[in-house]
Amino acid sequence: MIIESLRLSLQHVAAAYRDKLTEIPDYEFQKTPYVGGWSYSEVYSHIWDASLLSLRAMEDIWKGKGVLKPTAFTVKVILFYGAFPPAKRYKVPKRLESRVKVISKQEAAAFITKFLEQLDKDIPGIYTSDAALKTPHPRLGYLNAKQWLRFIEIHLKHHLKQIKRIEKTF
């Protein structure tokens, strides 16, 4: 049941990103905020690329390619509460930072569609995956398929807050 509720939550969050996409003026989408940081475009590029990579890591597990490693206690706490610790700002891991691109609103919409399609294909595999098998996350360590799904939800919600911070700068 938790897998289905996560799938529904991810669909809801994806819809929120789609709605934001229609609200953001075209001339602001690729513009760097006055206070610095990423543009809307770069946030969309990062979040959907990272989500697709997370689905791929999750897929490796249900295809039997994971390893037997423990999940760190602090990561279990993050997954339980559904949020990153509030006082800390996280930097994108170096290997993912180079993947962030300035994209168009059309490319952002296509990313969301691709993610949702892949999610629907991957959900059945999560039900049958071995909870002991895990693949590495660049910051959080080893996650099983269900934990990857939960991470995607947390990560997407985290960056929705970033989108709202960017809105306040324009």
User: What would the pLDDT profile of 30-87 be if each residue is shown by its tens digit?
Assistant: 999 988 889 999 999 999 999 999 999 999 999 999 999 999 999 999 999 999 887 6
Determine if residue 69 is left, alpha or beta; phi over 0 gives left, psi from -120 to 50 gives alpha, anything else beta: beta
How far apart CA 14 and CA 160 sit, in angstroms, is 10
Our count of domains for the chain comes to: 1
75-93 pLDDT tens trace: 999 999 999 887 666 677 7
Structural domain including 116 reads 2-169
For residue 142, which phi and psi values (nearest 5 degrees)? -90, 130
Give the CATH number, domain containing residue 56: 1.20.120.450
pTM above 0.85, yes or no: yes
